[in-house]
Amino acid sequence: MSLENALHFLEEGRDRPAFRQEIGLLSDEADYDALCAIGRRHGYAFTPAELARAFAIDWLARWAHFRKSPANPGDQET
């Protein structure tokens, strides 16, 4: 169980089609236990609290990344 596992799970979840398909099947009925179970099946053990914290970190990191992407030259200069 770790926050790091949860962060890896989020990263992998976006990148690997099989992962995405499995998560997509949860649809709007996803709950934390189901997401943790998918993580376990793919070798990532984490608690619901760790997943919630990891998602907030992941969200912020993505936001910062796309603010500074090459499409935003003004941001890069600053």
Residue 57's Cα: distance from chain center in Å? 9
Among 5, 7, 10, 44, contact with another protein (rule: CB under 8 A): 10
Contact flag: residue 40 with another protein (CB under 8 A)? no
Among 2, 4, 32, 40, which residue sits at the site for another protein (rule: CB under 8 A)?
32
Phi, psi for 2 (deg, rounded to 5): -165, 160
- The DSSP letter of residue 43 is T
Q: For residues 75 and 65, what is the distance between their CA atoms, to the nearest angstrom?
A: 11
Report the interface residues with another protein, using CB under 8 A.
10, 13-14, 19-20, 23-24, 26-32, 34-35, 48-49, 51-52, 55-57, 59-60, 62-63, 66-67, 69, 71-72, 74-75
